[in-house]
Amino acid sequence: MIYGLTNSKGGVGKTTIAVHLAAWLAKKGRKVVFVDADPQSSASQWIKELSIGIKLEQVPESGEIIRRVAKLSNDANDIVIDGPAGLSATTRAIMLQADRVFFPCGPSILDLRAASKAVLLLREAQKIRAGKPTGALIPNKLQKRGRLSREMMDAAKKLGIDVLAGLSLRQSFADVAGQAKVVWQMGTTSLLASHEMQQLMKEITGD
């Protein structure tokens, strides 16, 4: 399965969720390749520090993504692609390669409007690829997990895209990269964060 994390906006949780997804799949015994497609490569150090057997590939060149991912898919069970912010050629390439694309999105209507631009790219890809990839919105930094305002729910419905329960705003999610861990390795201080993240991983992978 090829998973892509992408959005037009920066700072919405793409890297945080992509790294946790790769770690989750590895924990399940899957052979995982993490493709860091962001030229800022903020996920790469985190993946290396986790040292849990996830293979890391840095592919910042948009023109390389399709060829490299196709090649990698021969010797991996799952590929997780962490995209850069923006509607760049890289974002398009991810949509042309992934089976499932997820759009982490901040908790405001402005964030959702930005995400709707990425959904337009998704629709283009789906036309070319007979309905692939599937797409879903992941609301992030919510006051409470699963609680979206009425306006956001209405706007998401208009986009015609699935909306996952998402993640709430928590210090543990902000701290976890600095500790070179994932939240379920952080112990008793992060039980709620760990539970939320694992629920999200189940939704993403369809477990």
Residue 145 near residue 168 (C-beta atoms within 8 A): yes
| Residue at token pair 């939320």 | 196
**6 or 132: whose CB is closer to ligand ATP?**
6
Total residues interacting with ligand ATP, rule: CB under 6 A: 18
Residues 45-104 touching ligand ATP, rule: CB under 6 A, are 85
Q: Which of 57, 170, 197, 201 is in the footprint of ligand ATP by CB under 6 A?
A: 170
Q: Among the candidate windows 12-20, 50-58, 61-69, 179-187, which touches ligand ATP by CB under 6 A?
A: 12-20
Helices 89-97 and 62-72 sit at what angle, rounded to 10 degrees? 20
Structure tokens at 133: 């990839």
167 touching ligand ATP, by CB under 6 A: yes
- With contacts defined by CB under 5 A, how many residues of the chain interact with Mg ion? 2
DSSP 127-173: HHTTTPSEEEEEE-SBSSTT---HHHHHHHHHHT-EE----B--HHH
Contact set with ligand ATP (CB under 6 A): 10-16, 38, 42, 85, 140-141, 167, 169-170, 173-174, 177
